[in-house]
């Protein structure tokens, strides 16, 4: 008869590990099936959805630190649900630590997240001290005076107490009605958890044991309590983040709109700015369009500055620009830029204006009339020409201007020197003369630098060459 050889420790360990991975062949009870579905669906769902939202929110709004604590709490919850489902595979002492520690950390991180989501400092000493006290109570009723019922009471009351402490500390400072409603729901969930635990313990006190705990209503109550708290915090979290994101995006959008409105209000009439804001800036994209360009330049400004000095010259040019700007905006023109003692503007962009050539000529005549009526009269040359240009926001990420580039701009700049040699109120180029509905007098064909063909120029009041 051979002696029985005891299994070596390594073989026992291997057999133990194999038993953990071996599929269960027994039909699970109703609570077992419910707990399996609960773990398989709720735990990973909460963790996955929050992890995704956490990454998105932290990437866009890194200052929302509450996301860190809620992410940790959901990770703890998923871990607790997993281990609670598998607790029958572990030694009862090990199962106590593997399940209670994640549940406690879930409550602690929930509390920290509640403080942060309501813009309050986290009282780490209080909530971690409460968590440690609950854990010591669990240790006492596990090793010193083993009592499953008291251990369950300490755990349930401890988790609920941590949540209630956080709720009632942050409730007076919760700014939104939705936050307060969810905090009250969370408090009610914690109170009901205590009531459910007491009732289930009274109902199952005679049958509750380490072996039956995993499938008992008491275990289910603890899981349900934590999960309901998690769901309440999830609603609070997403509501808070949704409001934060909407407010930040709205503020950012309003700030950008105000910047655009402020920028264009200096160069466009209020009616044009209002139309652009209503179109959300769609009319500012670069596009090819036939426009009419106006250039108005002071005569004799260099001599004036030499005689009167720079301060007087600055005031002089500002008076000129004020007159020119007012008349341009009165006719819904777009000021392209100020060029020292000159102003450049155009019509038919960004808004369509069928009579853009006439508007440009009328503006030029009005400016000339206003300048002659000043207390200190001024003389200026005005040039108008029409043609296709690329109009829209031009520039780089560092600087962007709404301007026009193309033929009409080039012709106007070249006609400026010609206009200074003639005593005309407004010098009009060939295409503007063709589009205008007024009678203009042709005054000759000239050749401009960079243009291969002769250009016929027109005037509103030709009086011959300018003297002086």
pLDDT band at 246 (very low <50, low <70, confident <90, very high): low
Alpha-carbon gap, residue 270 to 411, rounded angstroms: 29
Task: Find the mean pLDDT for residues 235-239.
Answer: 61
Q: What is the pLDDT of residue 224?
A: 64
30-48 pLDDT, tens digit each: 444 444 444 445 555 555 5
User: Strand pairing of 455-459 and 441-446?
Assistant: antiparallel
Alpha-carbon gap, residue 439 to 406, rounded angstroms: 26
Terminal-to-terminal C-alpha distance of the chain? 138
Quote the percentage of the chain above a pLDDT of 70. 66
Q: Which residue has the higher pLDDT, 379 or 86?
A: 379
pLDDT band at 116 (very low <50, low <70, confident <90, very high): confident
Q: Which residue has the higher pLDDT, 54 or 85?
A: 85
Look-up: residue for tokens 């057999």? Answer: 15
pLDDT at 298 over 90: yes
Nearest to 229 by CA among 256, 194, 278: 194
Q: What is the pLDDT of residue 21?
A: 37
pLDDT band at 421 (very low <50, low <70, confident <90, very high): confident
Determine how many CB atoms are found less than 10 A away from the CB of residue 67: 24
pLDDT band at 17 (very low <50, low <70, confident <90, very high): very low
Q: Which residue has the higher pLDDT, 441 or 99?
A: 441
Tokens at residue 350, please?
Answer: 């960004």
Tokens at residue 188, please?
Answer: 């009610």
Name the 3-class secondary structure at 94.
Answer: helix
Q: Compute the residue count for the chain.
A: 468
pLDDT at 457 over 50: yes
User: Strand pairing of 427-428 and 380-395?
Assistant: parallel
Q: Is the pTM of this model over 0.75?
A: no
pLDDT at 297 over 70: yes
Tokens at residue 247, please?
Answer: 């407010």
Phi-psi region of 10 (alpha: psi -120 to 50; beta: other; left: phi over 0): alpha
Q: What is the pLDDT of residue 242?
A: 62
Alpha-carbon gap, residue 343 to 298, rounded angstroms: 9
Determine how many CB atoms are found less than 10 A away from the CB of residue 5: 6
Tokens at residue 159, please?
Answer: 């988790």
Cα angle at 221 between 216 and 222, to 5 degrees?
A: 105
Nearest to 232 by CA among 196, 280, 179: 179
**Non-local CB neighbours of 198 within 8 Å, separated by 6+ positions:** 153
Distance of CA 207 to the CA centre of its chain: 56
Q: What is the pLDDT of residue 33?
A: 45
Q: Which residue has the higher pLDDT, 305 or 184?
A: 305
pLDDT at 467 over 50: no
Q: What is the pLDDT of residue 69?
A: 80
Q: Report domain extents, the chain.
A: 31-254, 270-459
Q: What is the pLDDT of residue 193?
A: 73
Q: What is the fold of 270-459?
A: Alpha-Beta Plaits (3.30.70)
DSSP strands (E only) in 6-71: none
For residue 110, the number of C-alpha atoms closer than 13 Å in the C-beta half-sphere is: 35
Phi, psi of 289 (to 5 degrees): -150, 145
Alpha-carbon gap, residue 342 to 416, rounded angstroms: 11
Task: Find the mean pLDDT for residues 117-122.
Answer: 78
Phi-psi region of 297 (alpha: psi -120 to 50; beta: other; left: phi over 0): beta
Alpha-carbon gap, residue 213 to 200, rounded angstroms: 12
Q: What is the pLDDT of residue 354?
A: 93
Q: Is the dihedral of CA 265, 266, 272, 275 positive or negative?
A: negative
H-run or E-run covering 392: strand 380-395
Q: Kindly report the average pLDDT of the chain as a whole number.
A: 76
121-178 pLDDT, tens digit each: 889 899 999 989 999 998 898 888 888 778 878 887 888 888 888 888 888 877 667 6
Q: Which residue has the higher pLDDT, 5 or 358?
A: 358
pLDDT at 13 over 60: no
């Amino acid at each position: 008869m051979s002696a029985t050889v005891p299994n070596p420790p390594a073989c026992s360990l291997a057999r133990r590990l194999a038993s953990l991975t071996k599929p269960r062949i027994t039909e699970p009870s109703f609570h077992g099936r419910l707990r399996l579905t609960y773990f398989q669906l709720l735990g990973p769902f909460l963790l996955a959805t929050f992890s995704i939202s956490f990454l998105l929110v932290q990437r866009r709004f890194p200052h929302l630190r509450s996301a860190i604590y809620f992410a940790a709490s959901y990770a703890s919850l998923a871990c607790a649900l997993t281990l609670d489902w598998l607790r029958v595979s572990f030694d009862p002492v090990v199962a106590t630590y593997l399940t209670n520690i994640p549940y406690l950390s879930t409550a602690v991180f929930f509390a920290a997240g509640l403080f942060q989501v309501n813009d309050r400092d986290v009282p780490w000493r209080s909530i971690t001290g409460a968590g440690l006290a609950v854990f010591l109570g669990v240790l006492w009723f596990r090793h010193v005076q083993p009592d499953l019922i008291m251990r369950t009471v300490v755990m349930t009351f401890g988790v609920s107490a941590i949540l209630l402490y956080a709720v009632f500390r942050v409730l007076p400072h919760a700014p939104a009605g939705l936050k307060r409603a969810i905090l009250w729901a969370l408090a009610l969930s914690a109170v009901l958890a205590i009531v459910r635990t007491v009732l289930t313990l009274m109902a199952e006190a005679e049958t509750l044991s380490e072996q039956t705990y995993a499938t008992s209503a008491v275990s289910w109550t603890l899981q349900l309590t934590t999960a309901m708290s998690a769901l309440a915090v999830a609603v609070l979290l997403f509501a808070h983040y949704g409001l934060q994101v909407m407010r930040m995006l709205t503020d950012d959008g309003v700030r950008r709109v105000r910047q655009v409105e402020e920028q264009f209000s200096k160069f466009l009439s209020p009616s044009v700015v209002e139309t652009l804001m209503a179109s959300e800036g769609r009319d500012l994209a670069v596009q090819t369009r036939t426009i009419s360009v106006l250039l108005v330049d002071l005569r004799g400004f260099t001599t004036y500055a030499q005689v009167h000095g720079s301060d007087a010259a600055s005031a002089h040019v500002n008076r000129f620009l004020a007159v020119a700007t007012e008349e341009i905006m009165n006719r819904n023109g777009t000021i392209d830029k100020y060029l020292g003692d000159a102003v450049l503007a155009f019509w038919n962009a960004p808004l369509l204006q069928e009579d853009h050539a006439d508007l440009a000529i009328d503006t030029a005549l009005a400016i000339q009339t206003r300048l002659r009526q000043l207390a200190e009269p001024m003389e200026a040359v005005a040039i108008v020409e029409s043609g296709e240009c690329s109009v829209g926001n031009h520039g780089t990420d560092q600087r962007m201007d709404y301007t026009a580039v193309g033929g009409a701009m080039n012709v106007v700049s070249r006609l400026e020197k010609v206009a200074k040699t003639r005593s005309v109120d407004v010098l009009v180029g060939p295409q503007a003369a063709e589009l205008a509905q007024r009678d203009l007098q042709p005054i000759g064909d000239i050749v401009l630098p960079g243009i291969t063909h002769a250009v016929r120029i027109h005037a509103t009041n030709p009086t011959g060459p300018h003297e002086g």
